[in-house]
Chain A
Amino acid sequence: MRERLALSRPTEASSGKTGSWRTFRPVVDRETCNACGLCAQYCPDGVIDEDLNIDLDYCKGCGICANECPKEAITMIREER
């Protein structure tokens, strides 16, 4: 049935998969990472989960995580497409 009112409903990927915007991809060096969680705290899009895995489908590649990492465990690597 058609809705009488145009209502947007919460979904992931409401703007498409923004991972395609990326020019640089964050790569985490697990050896140097001390799991402080600052990258997840500062990620504007909340794409870093509790185990500090980065969701590359949605990561826009802004680089805040790499810039703020106190251990410099994250490097931004150019996407090959």
Chain B
Amino acid sequence: MTNIVKRSVSILSAIPKEEYLLKCTSACAGCSSSLCLRYVLKAAGPDSVLVVPACCTSVLQGIYPGTAMNVPVYNIAFAAAAACASGMSDAFAKLGKKTNVIVYAGDGGTVDIGIQALSGAFERGTNFLYICYDNEAYGNTGMQRSGSTPLGARTTTTPGGKLTAKKDLDRIVEAHNPPYMATACSAYPLDLYKKVKKALSIPGPKFIHILAPCPPGWRYPSEKTVEMGKLAVKTGMWVLYEREFGKLAISGPSRAAMRRPAPLEEYIGGQGRFKNMSPEILDEMRHQVERSIRRLASEEAGAC
């Protein structure tokens, strides 16, 4: 036990103490987006600019003339985040500055509305980091379904449960052959910190996709945010990996989960949005999880 404590303290002490997200944002209690943002900004440091399209993060900054963000933030229209970051990154390069340009966008602003700007910026080879924090619906406007909402989830616009599967954003981004892309989860902040650090050390377009459980939207009590994120990884619903110059590496927590995934019901059962899900949908979901685990495992083994 003492060894575990010592180890966790030593990892913790490697993380900078400075907070670039000041106390008192207007995020909901138990918000995993503000948890992620804390670690993203710790990894990026003070010489960074955030580009934020319409999403929860454009709201949680606070009320004028104050803001909780201790780094410069550019709030921009839904569809334009990656395009704005392209111009900004070129301007910094011309000035000879090494400022990190980071887009911090929700799933709606990435998977649906912002996808063409994202694709364009990746094609142009813009030097920036695009982070999508994914709470699987339009949380800020009242939980309407997005392209990222999983099969069977109830939202305010799919009251009977969504009939189609979640859009596989990672494979869309992968098709652009970026030098670095990764998935992360708010329940593993140290893993997220390391991935952001690594991404910012590589020039070119980088992408990180974070699963961010949302207490009011997924309808679970606010104290379960971290637990829910861990369950998503343990059941294999969300696989943590990184892809450096095309080479896939599954991250530690998912490696164990893929060998022996926890029963899917543990993840589904804790959330109100999956209430009264039909057994057929649950079966379909289980197949999806198995397929994605099999695909990633065989890719890592070099079979395809």
Contact = CB atoms under 8 A, between A and B. Distances in A.
Nearest to A43: B35
Contacts of B32: 44
Interface residues of A, number: 40
Contact of A63 (B4, B21, B221): B221
Contact of A41 (B25, B189, B222): B189
Contact of A18 (B8, B24, B189, B227): B24
Interface in B13-62: 17, 19, 21-32, 34-35, 38, 61-62
B24 A9 contact: no
A45 B19 CA distance: 10
A78 B190 CA distance: 32
Nearest to B68: A14
A55 B22 CA distance: 13
For chain B, the bracket of interface size reads 35 or more
Contacts of A41: 12, 189-190
A9 B31 contact: no
Interface string B62-85: 111111111000000000000000
Given A46-B19, A62-B29, A64-B30, A13 B24 contact: yes
Contact of A62 (B25, B30, B69, B70): B30
Interface string A3-31: 00011111111111110011000000000
Q: At the interface, is chain A mostly helix, strand, loop or mixed?
A: loop
Interface string A42-76: 11111100100001001011111011100000001
Contact of B27 (A6, A8, A38, A44): A44
B38 A46 contact: yes
A21 B31 CA distance: 14
Given A44-B225, A64-B226, 12 more contacts: A8-B67, A10-B68, A11-B66, A12-B24, A13-B23, A21-B29, A36-B8, A41-B12, A44-B34, A55-B23, A60-B30, A62-B215
B65 A9 contact: yes
B95 interface: no
B303 interface: no
B8 A42 contact: no
